[in-house]
Copies of this chain bind each other. A is one copy, B any other.
Amino acid sequence: MNSHIRRSMPLFPIGIVMQLTDLSARQIRYYEEHGLVSPARTEGNRRLFSFNDVDRLLEIKDLIEQGVNLAGIKQIFAARQQQHTETTPSVAPKVMKQDLSEEELRKLLRAELMEAGRFNRASLRQGDIARFFH
């Protein structure tokens, strides 16, 4: 299961994320400043958000609308994270992936897409990037 690669691939500039989440740039940056999201950066220092990042922002927005303040949200995320590490059968504490450069991530995805695409593409049917973000 490498869906987590697809989901953590930096894809969206802040402008799109604003529209997707209905949050202001100020808010998004502020949340980042407080460690609630950690978007990647381009070489030129522009933020690039992944699906996971956008997800996270939607959760933050939700919680804020329910009156939770940033400190609270931080705790909630921390708790979830902890529960995760507890629950997770840490079988192979080897070299957890995760430390792939954005470049590598994209190459990986592209490889996947190309490969998978051959079927449809060869037979001239419509291609399918989107399908792979299940």
List residues of A whose CB falls within 8 A of some B CB.
3, 6-7, 11-13, 15-16, 19-22, 42, 48, 51-52, 54-56, 58-59, 62, 76, 79-80, 103, 106, 109-110, 113-114, 117, 121, 124-131, 133-134
Contacts and interface: CB of A to CB of B under 8 A. Distances in A.
Given A11-B11, A58-B117, A19 B130 contact: no
Contact of A133 (B48, B52, B114, B133): B133
Contact of A129 (B19, B58, B79, B103): B58
A42 B14 CA distance: 13
Given A11-B16, A16-B11, A20-B106, A56 B130 contact: no
